Structure 1
Amino acid sequence: MPKTERFIETVTALARIGAGLSFAVLIGAVLLQVIGRSLGNSPVWTEELTRFALLFLIAFGAGLSLRSGDMVNVDIVCEALPGRWPWRLRLLSALATGGMALYLLPHAWRFVSIGRMQSSPALGLKMSYVHVTVFLMLALLVLFAALRVLGMLTGTEDGTPEKAEDI
């Protein structure tokens, strides 16, 4: 297996693990909330934890959805065009997504650094641990968009969404 494919599989697996762990924490916190409310006393920190877990789920899942093609697409318009136009538009889309996310990365990092001066009310976490989700989401979008562009330019992929059986 070439190093590039191994790298892509590793990054994809780590993002899936991150999304899975975030979802597990979300499920656990909501379950604890429901059980606590049924018994009359729900821990107050579960509200915050569910929001934070959802942010991490989105951060890990955005790049994965770009990779798999589960993001909103206009395939019906794009794929109806003649010749290489669909390929060109998929490449342009990946470049635009990656470029926009790359542009926003330093601003997201400033947002993370502001969080060092704040803490969450119920859990007492430094908000930089929560704000890093924005940076993580953008970084993964840059990475997965760059991998798509690289794959398209080298001919190892055509930029179309992965099939369900490939995932």
Structure 2
Amino acid sequence: MNHLLEIIVRISRAAIGLAFCVLIGAVLIQVLGRSVFSNSPVWTEELTRFALLFLAAFGAGLSFRSGDLVNVDIVSESAPGRWPWRMRLIGAVVTAAMCALLIGPAWKYTSIGALQTSPALGWRMDYIHVSVLVLILSLMIFSAARAVLMMLGQSDGLPENRLDEPPL
């Protein structure tokens, strides 16, 4: 399971890097167009939004894994005994369950996009709406993995923000 998680982490990081490169490129074209050429292509606005969507989609699960999502650990970690571990487990299970419940609606939202195209780029919107599905699946995978690893005794449920890991 750890090997599969590492593969998903690497794919997510590569996708974040690609989305960030697209974002940088679109903004650079936008800035140069406005300041140097006095004419910025209209599609750069759309491409920037799409890149941000995918940046968030692939980053959500990794943020859960590293502990960078908003958390109320000041409450849970101050509890006595095994309660912090229990609260981390409950949080991971509830997060995974909620994501599982949202897969159907996210799939419907994505499929509706096949009937629409983006105004400036002319892309089918299901290719863009799939970012919502990716976000939910990413968050579900990493929260379920945390819960399973905790139940197997391979993790204490604390975020895996290790100092020896390269930054996202």
TM-score scaled by length of structure 1 = 0.96
> Which structure is higher in helix share?
1
> Which AA in structure 1 matches 2:89?
L
SS at match of 2:112: helix
CA distance in 2, matches of 1:87, 1:120: 46
> Which AA in structure 1 matches 2:3?
R
Within a 5 Å distance, the mapping from 1:3-152 to structure 2 comes to: 4-38=1-35, 39-152=37-150
**Which ranges of structure 1 fall in alignment gaps of 5 or more residues?**
none
SS at match of 1:35: helix
Aligned identity (percent) is 56
> Which AA in structure 1 matches 2:161?
K
CA distance in 1, matches of 2:4, 2:60: 18
Give 1:164 shift: 3.6
SS at match of 2:133: helix
Q: How many residues align?
A: 164
Give 1:76 shift: 1.0
For residues 80-128 of structure 1, what are the alpha-carbon distances to aligned partners after superposition, in whole Å with 9 as ceiling and x for unaligned? 1001000000001011111111101100000011000000000000000
Query: Over aligned residues, Cα RMSD in angstroms?
Result: 0.8
> Which AA in structure 2 matches 1:63?
G
Give 1:163 shift: 3.0
For the Cα contact (< 8 Å) 2:65–2:161, is it kept in 1? no
Give 1:75 shift: 1.1
SS at match of 1:165: coil
Q: Which runs of 4+ in 1 moved over 2 A?
A: none
Give 1:166 shift: 4.1
Counterpart position of 1:156: 154
CA distance in 2, matches of 1:26, 1:61: 14
**Which ranges of structure 2 fall in alignment gaps of 5 or more residues?**
none
